[in-house]
């Protein structure tokens, strides 16, 4: 019986694969059998080494996704370098923190450009290919702030709310064309983006007190959900935003 979770023979493009959640997702997809293209402003050399140790190919693609200019090139380089494209993970993201009353236009624009604008146009570029081939998987990285308001992160909250919206919109348009578009909403994860929160003793305690699992998440905690959404096991799942949060939203 064929394993519905196998990604053998598939190619996944993961943005922001150099560290943190992107690296964790890339390694999980590679362990399931996929070759990986990693696109980002920083070369994903460590991720490349770990993917190759799993016996899979890795292609580094330099791209600053604060602009949509590289989007078409990233998809073209993936196809040229690895021969196909089956899975897109829109993981690259920025976060800027300041009180709403003081928040700058630059911090608004930078975050929105990477987190929502580039994610949409990357989906569009990959989507053209997926529609033409009659199959494809898009996984967006949402957030707890796709459901909640947050504090001191206006553009991040807006962008992650937008990710939930475009995930549903693209599912409405493309589900009948063989493409699935879903999102993972990580809870509080121990990554560079949360270093300030974890360093703040009071905020760290307040967050841990709210998480039923009693710990911060780790990048590898997203791996199983990512493999599920990238594989044929999820062919009838579309437009979903799946929390991986240790029970945060259930509280």
- pLDDT, average across residues 159-164: 98
> What's the pLDDT score for residue 111?
98
For residue 204, is pLDDT > 80?
A: yes
Cα dihedral across residues 73, 75, 80, 82: positive or negative = positive
Per-residue 3-state assignment (H helix, E strand, C coil) for 135-192 = CEEEEEECCHHHCCCCCCCHHHHHHHHHHHHHHHHHHHHHHHHCEEEEEEEECCECCH
Domain boundaries along the sequence of the chain: 11-245
Higher pLDDT, 1 or 139: 139
CA distance 117 to 1: 41
CA distance 68 to 239: 24
Average pLDDT score, the chain: 97
Helices 20-31, 45-53: crossing angle, 10 deg rounding: 20
Three-class SS state of 204:
helix
Residues annotated as part of the active site:
156
Q: What is the pLDDT of residues 10-40, one digit of tens each?
A: 999 999 999 999 999 999 999 999 999 999 9
> What's the pLDDT score for residue 214?
97
Are 184 and 128 in contact by the 8 Å Cβ rule? The answer is no
Q: What is the pLDDT of residues 146-158, one digit of tens each?
A: 999 999 999 999 9
Q: 11-245, what's its fold? A: Rossmann fold (3.40.50)
How sure is the predictor about 193, in pLDDT bands with cuts at 50, 70 and 90? confident
Are 189 and 208 in contact by the 8 Å Cβ rule? The answer is no
């Amino acid at each position: 019986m064929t394993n519905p979770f196998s990604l053998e023979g598939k190619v996944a493009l993961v943005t922001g694969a150099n560290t943190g959640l992107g690296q964790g997702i890339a390694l999980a997809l590679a362990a399931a059998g996929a070759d990986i293209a990693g696109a980002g402003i920083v070369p994903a050399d460590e991720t490349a080494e770990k993917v190759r140790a799993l016996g899979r190919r890795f292609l580094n693609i330099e791209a600053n996704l604060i602009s949509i200019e590289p989007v078409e090139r990233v998809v073209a380089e993936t196809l040229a370098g690895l021969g196909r494209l089956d899975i897109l993970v829109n993981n690259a993201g920025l976060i800027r923190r300041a009180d709403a009353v003081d928040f700058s236009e630059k911090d608004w624009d930078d975050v929105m450009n990477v987190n929502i604008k580039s994610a949409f146009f990357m989906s569009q570029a990959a989507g053209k290919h997926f529609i033409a081939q009659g199959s494809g998987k898009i996984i967006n990285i949402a957030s707890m702030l796709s459901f909640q308001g947050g504090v001191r992160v206006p553009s991040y909250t807006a962008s992650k709310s937008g990710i939930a919206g475009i995930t549903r919109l693209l599912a409405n348009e493309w589900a009948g064309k063989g493409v699935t578009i879903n999102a993972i909403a990580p809870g509080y994860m121990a990554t560079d983006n949360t270093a300030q929160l974890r360093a703040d003793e009071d905020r760290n305690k307040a967050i841990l007190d709210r998480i039923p699992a009693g710990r911060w998440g780790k990048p590898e905690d997203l791996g199983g959900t990512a493999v599920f959404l990238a594989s044929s096991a999820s062919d009838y799942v579309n437009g979903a935003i799946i929390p991986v949060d240790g029970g945060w939203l259930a509280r």
